[in-house]
Structure 1
Amino acid sequence: MGGNRVEYYGITLDLSSDQIDRTQKASFVYETYEEPERELIDEFVPEDRDVLELGASIGFISCYLDAHLSASSQQYVVEANPRLLSTLERNRGLNDADFEICHAAYAATDEEVSFTIVENFLASSVQRTDGKAVDIPALSLRDAIDRWDLDGFVLVADVEGAEYELVEHEIDDLASHCAYILIEFHTHGAESIGPAKQMLKEAGFELLAAKQGGTVCLFQNRRQ
């Protein structure tokens, strides 16, 4: 790692943003940043599917997926935090990636949401109220499916607690259009994670693998 630029599993990342602190930079040195997601992509995500990523952050997974996917696949990434957009765009350019970036926050029903920015960029969320709140355009799964004509796609979701809303309110669209789900469940207690996984199971999704104490999961839609 040299200065504010790092090579991480074949991806070049600019970490110069003041949103990225020393602890977060250290996760690249110790090779722990997004480790479960990277491993699940390598093992399970097909190269020939379109991808929708909700919660792109600084773009490591976005760029990693771009390198993983075939040239025929389309990739759309959604990020709510306005302070991370320039870093996401720089990292896209550093890796000659061509995914489309959409500035929006995931929400199942609202047209606009209050997004709370905290010092730890990994934890900024529509679910928090303990930081600087900004109004952000909202994007539901249904909106994304219609906007990009998605079907049989891979959903990658790291939305800091809004994943429960996603599963609860948009399960029909997940079942009808989504072939694989790579999702991080944030800890609101086991009572939240269990029912969400059960809803996915009842909708036809099989849990293929789980990492990080069962919070990072890869599901395949057996009805697709």
Structure 2
Amino acid sequence: MRAVKLIKKIWTAGRIFRDKGFSGVMDMIRRKAELSQKLLATKHITTITLDGCTFDLKRLPNTPMKLALLEQDYEAFERRAVMRYVNSNEPVIELGGCIGVVACITNRLLTNPKMHIVVEVNPNAIPILEDSRRRNQCKFEILNEAIAYHADSITFNPASDLWSNALAQWNGEAKVTVPTTRLQDIVNQRGFTSFTLICDIEGHEYDLLLNETEVLQKVNTLILETHARIIGEDKTAEILRKLENAGFRTIDQDSFVVVMARDGHPLKNAPQSAA
């Protein structure tokens, strides 16, 4: 295990040196030192409550995600968007559940909390996701699968920080293999005629849009985290353009997260237009 961690550190430092030079490596060291100092000052805190839901911190690695949780900044816009725009009477499919913060907040809003499917590709996150579900008395279904196409399974290196899982990147952990699924399969198996889609799949939203245009017609509200840093600005712009051509309009956004709704679909709490 120590050897794997050392290899990961060397690989990360090498990548940063290639991209940003010596100053980039020094900046990484400085940021890691600041992170360690802040986490050390809060090591006595073992749980955190966000928007009425409680999450365990003890099993989380000491990463920026843990600090974001402690500072109440974790997925802040997504959490607000869920509370403002999710229709409590519609099923929800969430792609990219991570440790379950957005999932738990969403689930407690739903009239039928069993009509909520959470897909998470990283098997290391599943025990924490299950604990979050139990701790907050939620009833969403968990699928440890990958949204991917043209293969029944996919092998990748899961992210050790649990926060990002771009399937094409090496993230320092041993390879794992998980089954694949499609959004269309999830919808068909459960008979959903319409639903809310929450999507944070580290750039694979581009493949989703290319392969699943038909089932996206059943989405009334979409909360989408885009990943231009992974797939580039051009593909990100193409995603938004195709969604608009498919009948969606942007109703809210913040940085790289966008909320879209289908034309004519009544919103839970739509922003009021100026008179």
TM-score normalized by structure 2?
0.75
Q: Which of 186, 195, 198 is 1:144 aligned to?
A: 186
2:246 to 195, 203, 207: 203
Cα deviation 1:190-218 (Å, max 9, x = unaligned): 1111000001011111111111x2x2111
SS in 2 for 1:207: strand
Alignment of 1:109-128 (within 5 A): 109-128=150-169
Percent identical residues? 25
Detail structure 1 runs of 4+ shifted over 4 Å in the superposition.
none
Q: State the 1:164 CA deviation.
A: 0.8
For residue 63 of structure 1, the aligned residue among 82, 86, 104 is: 104
Work out whether 1:78 is the aligned partner of 2:119.
Answer: yes
Distance 1:115-1:149 versus aligned 2 partners, 3 A rule: farther
- Structure with greater helix share of residues: 2
Which is further off, 145-154 or 108-117? 108-117
The verdict on how the C-alpha distance between 1:73 and 1:218 changes in structure 2, with shifts beyond 3 A counting, is farther
Q: Write the distance in 2 (CA, Å) between the matches of 1:189 and 1:164.
A: 11
Corresponding residue to 1:193 among 233, 236, 248: 236
* Counterpart AA for 1:168: L
Amino acid at match of 2:74: Y
Query: How many residues in Structure 1 have an aligned counterpart in Structure 2?
Result: 220
SS for the counterpart of 1:57 is coil
Please tell me whether the aligned partners of residues 83 and 106 of structure 2 are also in contact (alpha carbons under 8 angstroms). no
Q: Aligned partner of 2:183: which letter?
A: L
Which structure is higher in RCO with an 8 Å CA cutoff and minimum separation 6? 1
Deviation at 1:118, TM superposition (A): 2.5
Please name the residue that 2:130 is paired with. Answer: 89
**Structure 1 41/130 Cα, relative in aligned 2: closer, same or farther at 3 Å?**
closer
Q: Report if aligned partners of 2:122, 2:158 keep a CA contact under 8 Å in 1.
A: yes
From the two aligned structures, give the one with the greater strand fraction: 1
Structure of larger gyration radius: 2
SS at match of 1:151: coil
Question: RMSD in angstroms over aligned alpha carbons?
Answer: 1.8
Query: Following TM superposition, by how much is the alpha carbon of 1:41 offset from its aligned partner in structure 2, in angstroms?
Result: 1.2
User: What's the offset of the Cα at 1:155?
Assistant: 0.7
Contact 2:88 2:109 in 1 (8 A): yes
Q: Deviations over 1:20-62 (max 9, x none)?
A: 3243222122221011101111222211110001110000111
Question: Relative to 1, partners in 2 of residues 1:44 and 1:111: Cα closer, same or farther, differing over 3 Å?
Answer: same
Please, which runs of 5 or more residues in structure 1 have no aligned partner?
Answer: none
**Residue of 195, 199, 202 corresponding to 1:153:** 195
Q: Which runs of 5+ in 2 are unaligned?
A: 1-41, 266-275
- Paired letter, 1:209: D
Moved more, 186-195 or 50-59: 186-195
Secondary structure in 1 matching 2:93: strand
Give the Cα–Cα distance (whole angstroms) in 1 for the partners of residues 57 and 151 of structure 2: 32
